[in-house]
Each structure stands twice: as structure tokens, then as C-alpha cells.
Amino acid sequence: MDMMVMRTRSSSSSCSFFVAIVLVFSSLCLANSEHLDSTTTTMRIGTSSTAKQKCNVYQGSWVFDNSYPLYDSRACPFIRKEFDCQKYGRPDKSYLKYKWKPKDCEIPRFDGRDFLKRFKGKKIMFIGDSISNNHWESLLCLLYTAVPGTNTIGQANGSVTTITFKDFGVSVSLFMSPYLVDIEEQRIGHVLKLNSLKNGNIWKEMDVLIFNSWLWWYRNDSRQQWDFIQDGKKIVKDMDRMDAFRKGLMTWAKWVDSTVDTAKTKVMFQGITPSHYDGKGWNKPGVINCGSETKPISGSIYPGGLPRAWFVLKDVLNQIRKPVHFLDITTLSQLRKDGHPSKYNVFGGMDCTHWCLAGVQDTWSQLLYVALTT
């Protein structure tokens, strides 16, 4: 299979960046006694090196902070045109100026150089759909802009795209797998196999895994990637999508318990990402998209509540015997109805599913940093 290679080098004495990067994707559409507590991260606060406090970093609110954003999107060569809201004319900038403030503690500001030093020689991989792509690019931007003059090399091969920070030996990969379980082409068509997960042989070799799945499970239009669903020996044209989602997640969970060496590999699962196409969720009935939203919802509670898929995911994660951290970004992202590209993207279409970069997903990366380092 053909391999695509790209190299970038930035200079600390120049504002220009040379970028030779082509990322090819087929479509925009896009833990029990041993566990890390699935919603609480213990982190070090205060001035004493021994001072620790239990803090649920996923409960809090958004506060204005003029020191944000964490980077200038113009300085990052990895942002897809669909997510580069400032480049494509978004007139407001206030959405860039909010930081996440947990209720009971302060979380450290993302330190890209520290991240690269801590994970020197390690392999990090995001696995999922276009939301994983979005998050992957956020982490790449945070790392790249933290080390001016660093050398990167990129490789794309099939479903995998990897950016390596050569000076640190850190690779950050994206593996496109919207359902996590397999889709196979058979005589009858493309079959979504709820009990099959073959790509795990690649995933288990990584040092950090960040999984995500949900966005594609409810699609039933021309973008649907399968013609039939196989559950055990039974093949059907369709089935209850939430039930299919649970079954697919259980296959993934069994793979983690049976195959992943969690002494070597840290496993994360990202929470359900919200969309903002229905104003009833934020007490604005009649609003049909995020196009006019410029501020977060105040406070810590989303009026529309958690989506059903969140409870399914949480239940599956609680059944895994091995340590898996729940990167629970759902509620904090629900509060950010202002954080989507809306029409400010290369296509000009209304997008209230993905996220502007810089923006909300940089907080996801910050919380990933906290989960990995505390």
C-alpha cells in the first residue's frame, strides 16, 4: 500500500511555517477495584509536593480567561479546513477565551513541552470517528506550538495517520474506526460485525489509547457504511441502534480485558460528544442550530440532561475488570453550544457537531494531560 510522508519544520526566529502535509480521509462525516475511578482524577494541588486532593475534574463550569486560547490556530499546520473557524471568517473571538474550572480544584494549564518529555519514545493513538480526528488535531496543535523549531514527520497508511515529534520520539496517531468493531465486505454487501474486532492487534502495541465511538451508530442515510448487521450468527438488515451500540462496546470491552496489557498501555474512553441542533436542550425552543451562539451556558448543569448513549457507555465501562479511564467530556461540552464551526468552515455548511480549533477540544486535551500525569 502506498505510504504518504510529510515533514514539517518551524523556526523559533520566524513566524512562517513550512508545511507539506496531506491528510486523506474518505468523508468529513464524518474501572472495579483495580480501576481508575471513572469520573474522578486525583491531582496534586497547592505548594506542597505531598499535598493531594480528590477532585472530579469533569464537574465545573466555564469561566472567562483572557489568557486563552492556548495557541494561535494560524501557527498550527494540522487543522483541517472543516475546523479552522477563524480562517473561514468566524467574526467573534469570545468563544476562544473560556477555560474549564472544576468545582473543587484548579487543573494545570496544558504544558506541551512537559507532555513530550514525559512521553518521550511513546506511541499515542486516537481510535474512532471524525470527532477523534478533531481531538487528535487539538493535541497536535498544543504540542507543536509548545516547541517552536521542532521537527515533525507525518505518515499516512490506510486507516492510520501518524505525526511523530522527532526530537522527542513521540508519535501521535489517528486510527479511523467509527464503530470500533469490524465492517467486512461479503457477498451480500458490507456487514457490521458486532462480535468482531480485528484491528486490536494494531492498537494493543500503543502506549496510550484514546477511544471514541457513537456518532455513526445512529446514521441511516447514504453515509451509512454498512448494509447489514451481524450479531453472533444472526444477520439482519437493521436493529435497535442503541442495542447495537451496546453490543459493539461489549466486544471492545472483552478485547480490553482479554488482550490489552494495561501495565504497559493506558486505556482511555472519551465520553459522548454532544451536538447542538435543538435549542430545547439549552432552553431555546425553536432554535435549530448553533449558528447564532456566541457564549457558553452558565453554571454546571445542561438543561437537556445527559444523552442515553452516555449511560450505555458508562455501564459498559463499569463492567471492565482492567483499568480504563473515562474521559468524561460530555457535560462540559454540552455547555459549549458556542464552540462549533457552524457555517465557518471550508464548505460553508452548518456544523454543530464538530468543534472549532482552537477551542473546546483543547480542554479535552488538557483533561487528557491531567488524567495521564496525575
* Per-residue pLDDT tens digits for 2-46: 433 444 444 333 333 333 443 333 333 343 333 444 444 444 544
Catalytic site residue from 171, 275, 354, 365: 354
Number of domains in the chain: 1
pLDDT of 119-144, one tens digit each?
999 999 999 999 999 999 999 999 99
- At 155, the pLDDT band (50, 70, 90 cuts) reads very high
Catalytic site residue from 84, 182, 328, 351: 351
Question: Is residue 242 situated within a structural domain?
Answer: no
Question: Is residue 39 situated within a structural domain?
Answer: no
d(CA 130, CA 125): 14
**How would you list the strands of the sheet with 208-211, edge to edge?**
17-19, 4-10, 151-157, 160-165, 170-176, 123-128, 208-211, 266-270, 325-327
Q: Which helix (H) or strand (E) segment is 331 a member of?
A: helix 330-334
In this structure, the strands spanning 4-10 and 151-157 are antiparallel
Question: Is residue 1 situated within a structural domain?
Answer: no
Question: Is residue 243 situated within a structural domain?
Answer: no
Contact between 101 and 147 under an 8 Å Cβ cutoff? The reply is no
Question: Is residue 347 situated within a structural domain?
Answer: yes
Catalytic site residue from 130, 171, 173, 365: 130
Instruction: Tell me what pLDDT residue 207 has.
Output: 98
Question: Is residue 7 situated within a structural domain?
Answer: no
Burial of residue 32, with CB atoms counted within 10 A of its CB: 0-12 exposed, 13-18 middle, 19 or more buried: exposed
What single string gives the DSSP state of each residue in 41-101?
EEEE-SSSTT-EEEE-TTSEEEEE-TT--SS-GGG-TT--TTT-TTTTT----GGGGEEEE
Set of cell numbers at residue 147: 516547541
Question: Is residue 339 situated within a structural domain?
Answer: yes
Question: Is residue 165 situated within a structural domain?
Answer: yes
Instruction: Evaluate if pTM is beyond 0.85.
Output: yes
Based on the residue annotation, tell me whether 351 is a catalytic residue of this protein. yes
d(CA 280, CA 353): 16
Based on the residue annotation, tell me whether 14 is a catalytic residue of this protein. no
The backbone torsions φ and ψ at residue 327, rounded to the nearest 5 degrees and listed phi first, read: -80, 85
Based on the residue annotation, tell me whether 167 is a catalytic residue of this protein. no
For 359, the domain range is 60-178+265-372
